[in-house]
Amino acid sequence: MDRAPGGGPPPEPGAGTGPVPAAGPGGPPLVVACALGIEKLALRSGGGRSGAAGPVTVVRTGMGPAQARRTVARTLAAGPWRDAAVIASGFCAGLAPGMHPGDLIVAEETRDAEGVTACVGTGPLVDALTRALPGRTVHTGPLTGSDHIVRGPERAALRAGGAIAVDMESAATLRTALAAGARPVAAVRVVVDAPEHELVRIGTVRGGISAFRVLRAVLPAFFEWHRSLLLPRR
């Protein structure tokens, strides 16, 4: 199981077991939050679990902003993870024409009805993902939040407002993390469907499988982003 700083087990708000990312000694912790069991499986079963700057846990929040708020607040209230950097990850719907399943979204900011949250270290995160997943397209821009699955004309309206992708948990996750204390936050999502490739069920069509494989490969980039935050500023 994941090990907290000092050796105790972290809170486990969501179900699921699996291989654990290696933790570097003495560094600051990192929490990676996702909504679904299949997302947690991808994140925890991927290779490259070495290189973390400190203890790491992958937390399943459950679907929707309300579940994300509750789970993230509970996780960060526990002493070992109180000062952790937080990355919201998992799948999303792409909004821009030309996007494909398996494309990566790195949020410059997250948006929802409650406001805007700026993300930290977008450039280093894009660079790290490009190295970890050569040949994959990485899009940057605003990631918008919704409390329901968005389809058809509603997606077009969100795109007209400048968003490049939509999911249900990232905005709530990052806002809740910052409400619990100042920390670096980021959001990285994998496009599972897009305007020309609408998905009905994850894992039963080619796009879902492609997105799963990409999500399995992102942890080394997350660790590189996390380490980059510790470098002295020049």
pLDDT tens digit string along 116-152?
A: 999 999 999 999 999 999 999 999 999 998 888 777 7
> What was the pLDDT predicted at 193?
83
Which pair of structure tokens corresponds to residue 100? 């494909």
When pLDDT is cut at 50, 70 and 90, the band that residue 194 belongs to is confident
Which pair of structure tokens corresponds to residue 68? 């994300």
DSSP 48-90: -----SS-EEEEE--SSHHHHHHHHHHHHHSGGGTT-EEEEEE
Q: How far is CA 90 from CA 36, 79, 192, in A?
A: 8, 25, 9
205: pLDDT strictly greater than 70: no
Residue whose pair of structure tokens reads 């004309």 in the numeric block:
153
Note the pTM of the prediction, 2 decimals: 0.83
174: pLDDT strictly greater than 90: yes
Q: Radius of gyration over alpha carbons of the chain, in Å? A: 16
Look at 99 and 185; give whichever has higher pLDDT: 185
Angstrom distance (rounded) from CA 76 to CA 100: 34
